[in-house]
A and B are shown apart, each in its own frame.
Chain A
Amino acid sequence: MYQDQPEEQLQEENYHSIDNDTKPKILLMGPPRSGKSSILMVIFEKRDQLETVYLQPTTDIVEYTMYGGIEVYDLPGISYEHDYQFIDLNLFLGENTVIVFVIDTQDDIQKSLHYLYSSMDLIFSIQPNTQFNIFLHKIDGLSEELRQDINQEIQHRIFSHMDYEGYDNSLVQFYLTSIYNKSIYEAMSRVSHKLVPNVSTLENILTSFCYKSNLDKAYLFDMDSKLFIATDSFPFASQYHQFCCSTIGLMEDLTTMYSEYQLNQSGEVFSHQVATIHLDANYSIFTFQVNKRLMLICMVRDNISKNLSLLEFNAKKVSLSLKKVLNFPDSSTKD
């Protein structure tokens, strides 16, 4: 269908054109009012969740940039699938494009699935190996039992459809999400991991950091979006991830309090920040700022006050190697 577009219009497009074909991109798709814009606003604009209730339908493509130069596009949801021809998907679909498809679990699922199938047909015809990350969204309003039922049913239906069409099942992954808790951050992080280069190296560094420094868990977080870029390979517990998100919030709020204060004196912006948070039950959180955007958050089940300087020394070494591996092209590498 996209071929129908006149040639001139293609050139007039001011979106990034074919030369950055390999640029990492995330496309958010889904039926109207499924919560695409809300997700991005909560993550990238730090809007309050309640504010997103009043959002108007998106009519234009909105672009956000993530760490590592990952571009995130919010495609307007259109009531029937043929309208995607007005957006030239060819421009967005490159080798490093992943799709996030948002399904409102509190809405008519059959309709959403039809929408998904037609999007799949369209996208696989352009780029057959595109990965679909399906967010079963607005899960917060459902009971635990219903969640599992809906999750199973949707997975089953999508897989049988894909079998029927002869698509590769492994291209699809499912996440249960809600903007009212931190699950959306976890899901988005997981999606972005597919695009971050060398993510396994980062993982190895963090894992060895955990072994050497006796840590429970170590995360590398992007401060702005509260998404984590990498974590160690120990079992993942979403409650600890949620807790780390809260920790970032705390750091942000506490540092804004004194950043202005410091500016008044020397005009300098703060540099490396180290924080320790003591919790009861011999639990501690240790955070170490890698650069302006990135932060290491470690959970320690030990009293760290004894060997804090050692831990700090290790963290410094780790952050150096992380920076080397990441080697981000944009300003995020500048200290």
Chain B
Amino acid sequence: MKKKLLLMGQSGAGKTSMRAIIFSNYGAAETRRLGATMEIEHSSIPFIGDLHLNIWDCGGQRRFMNNYITDQKEHLFKDAEVLIYVFDVETRDQAAEFKYYEDCVKLLSQFSPTAKVFCLIHKIDLIKQDSRKTSSVPNVLANYKKTLGPLSQHFTPVFYTTSIWSYTLYQAWSDIAYKLIPNITMIENQLKQFRQLCGASRVVMFEKSTFLVVSHTQEHGKPNPEDDVFVRISETVKTYRQACSKIRAPLVAINIRNGPFSMFLEPFTETTYVLVVMNDPDVEAAVVKLNISSARIHFVNLADIQHT
């Protein structure tokens, strides 16, 4: 199943940078090497199960933008599942930005009315924190919401404030990915059951190549993980994978044991990894591994059932 995902916004807003960070393992600092995107760059990325993300990275120069909303409008906006519109908080011409957004959403509602709209307020690291808090992040977000709400036709856009220099970008994309997975509630329930069956205190399912969090579940009464815990894991594992590729030995699995505590990061289905955190000294490592491999078969079938 392919999902068409439009990535739009003014030139220099950071569309290609975020695509490179999330999908091509770029570091935040490496993105300054990226040049401007000409016309539209297509990339197809296999995601959870049989879901493929067809990303249309639309170059944001005015010339291209005008093309998008005139000649190419049908080609571009037809059958789109998702529109991700990136707003640059440092933009010089905000009025034009809002105008283009309005045009795009109008066309989207015409050609694919069931699409989802996400607005990323990007580069929030550049918002200066002053003492009067007039330009704090929540304020900026509220301003954008107020202006963009009426422009959004019948869509109810979801807003995120993001920056490539913090975990916010990863979180926003995790959230977007989560909303795209068709049988997510089923996966979530099954994962919860799996956690209970093997007595783990926490189970997290990651997408394999991007390491975005697909779903996570934990014991009742346990503190919720901090926001950036998963992004830290994801980033660490991603950089470690790069280190592994340097010695030509791709990473397969990690297992850390420490007193009563143990964690297992194992490949799960073809497109996912699973992290199992145990807090029970009586459970042998081999048992957990056995559990994971038996659950693997079940979860692979789960994707198939949905498909047929």
Q: Which residues of A contact B (CB under 8 A)?
A: 50, 239-240, 242-243, 246-247, 249-251, 253-258, 261-262, 264-265, 268, 270-281, 283
A50-B29, A246-B240, A283-B249 in contact; A258/B263 too (CB < 8 A)? yes
Q: Check B247–A239 contact: CB distance below 8 A.
A: yes
Q: Within 8 Å CB of A261, what residues of B?
A: 222-223, 277
Contacts A253-B232, A280-B252 known; A273 to B240 CB distance under 8 Å? Answer: no
Partner of B246, one of A239, A250, A275, A278: A239
Indicate if the CB atoms of B249 and A279 lie closer than 8 Å: yes
Task: With both chains docked as a complex, state the minimum distance between the C-beta of B235 and any C-beta of chain A, in angstroms.
Answer: 8
What is the CB-to-nearest-CB distance from B50 to chain A, in angstroms, rounded to a whole number? 25
Cβ A272 vs Cβ B252 within 8 A: no
Across-interface contacts of A256 in B (CB, < 8 A): 232
* CB neighbours of B222 from chain A (8 A): 261
Instruction: Contact check, A276 vs B255: say whether CB atoms are below 8 A apart.
Output: yes
Tell me if B67 is interfacial: C-beta within 8 Å of chain A.
no
In the assembled complex, the Cα of A275 lies from the Cα of B255 at a distance in Å of 5
Q: Nearest chain A CB to B195's CB is how many angstroms away? A: 15
With beta carbons under 8 angstroms apart, the residue of B229, B239, B251 that contacts A249 is: B239
Is the beta-carbon distance between A251 and B256 smaller than 8 angstroms?
yes
Contacts of A283 on B, CB cut-off 8 Å?
Answer: 247, 249
Q: Known A243-B247, A264-B223; judge A277-B258 contact (CB<8 A).
A: no
Contact with A278, one of B229, B239, B253, B257 (Cβ below 8 angstroms): B253
> Which residue from chain B places its CB closest to the CB of A265 in the assembled complex?
B279
Chain B residues, CB < 8 A from A279: 244, 249-252
User: Could you tell me if A246 and B243 are in contact, using CB atoms closer than 8 angstroms?
Assistant: yes
Give the docked Cα–Cα distance between A254 and B244 (Å): 17
- Shortest C-beta distance, B237 to chain A (Å), equals 7
Report B260-293 residues with CB < 8 Å from chain A CB.
Answer: 261, 263, 277, 279
Contact check, A253 vs B233: say whether CB atoms are below 8 A apart.
yes
B259 at the interface (CB under 8 A from A): yes
Determine whether the beta carbon of B236 is less than 8 Å from that of A254: yes
Q: Given the complex of chains A and B, what is the CA–CA distance between A249 and B263 in angstroms?
A: 16
Q: Find out whether the CB atom of A242 lies under 8 angstroms from the CB atom of B243.
A: yes
Nearest opposing residue in chain A for B254, CB measure: A277
Give the residues in chain B near A254, CB-CB below 8 Å.
Answer: 233, 236, 254, 256, 263
Q: How far, in Å, is B252 (CB) from chain A's closest CB?
A: 4
Closest to B248 in A: A281
Docked complex Cα distance between A14 and B115 (Å): 70
The 9 closest A-B pairs by CB, nearest first: A246-B243, A279-B249, A253-B236, A275-B256, A278-B252, A280-B250, A283-B249, A273-B258, A278-B253
Q: Chain B contacts of A273 at CB under 8 A?
A: 256-258
Kindly state the separation between the CA atoms of A250 and B253 in the bound complex, as whole angstroms: 13
Chain B, residues 81-107, CB within 8 Å of chain A (1/0): the string is: 000000000000000000000000000
B273 to chain A, nearest CB (A): 13
Residues of B within 8 A of A258 (CB): 258, 261, 263, 277
Q: 19 A-B contacts, Cβ less than 8 Å apart? A: A246-B240, A247-B240, A249-B236, A249-B240, A253-B232, A253-B233, A256-B232, A257-B233, A261-B277, A265-B279, A271-B259, A275-B257, A277-B251, A277-B255, A278-B254, A280-B249, A280-B250, A280-B252, A281-B250
Do A250 and B223 have beta carbons less than 8 Å apart? no
Q: For the complex, give the distance between the alpha carbons of A275 and B249 in Å.
A: 18
Q: Which residue of B lies closest to A256 (CB)?
A: B232
State the CA gap A114–B20 with chains docked (Å): 46
- Complex interface: chain B residues within 8 A of A281 (CB): 248-250
CB distance from B25 to the nearest CB of A (A): 14
Give the residues in chain B near A257, CB-CB below 8 Å: 229, 232-233
Q: Is the CB of B261 within 8 A of A274?
A: no
User: Closest residue of chain A to B267, judged by CB?
Assistant: A278
Q: In the complex, what residues of B have CB within 8 A of residue A247's CB? A: 240, 243
Cα A193 to Cα B192 with chains together (Å): 51
Q: B251–A274 contact, CB under 8 A?
A: no
B248 surroundings in chain A (CB, below 8 A): 281
Cα-based distance from A126 to B223 in the complex (angstroms): 60
User: Which of A254, A256, A268, A276: most chain B CB closer than 10 A?
Assistant: A254
Identity of the chain B residue whose Cβ is nearest the Cβ of A273 in the assembled complex:
B258
A sample of 15 more A-B contacts (CB under 8 A), given A258-B261, A261-B222, is A242-B243, A250-B240, A253-B236, A258-B258, A261-B223, A264-B223, A271-B259, A274-B258, A275-B256, A276-B255, A278-B253, A278-B254, A279-B251, A280-B249, A280-B250
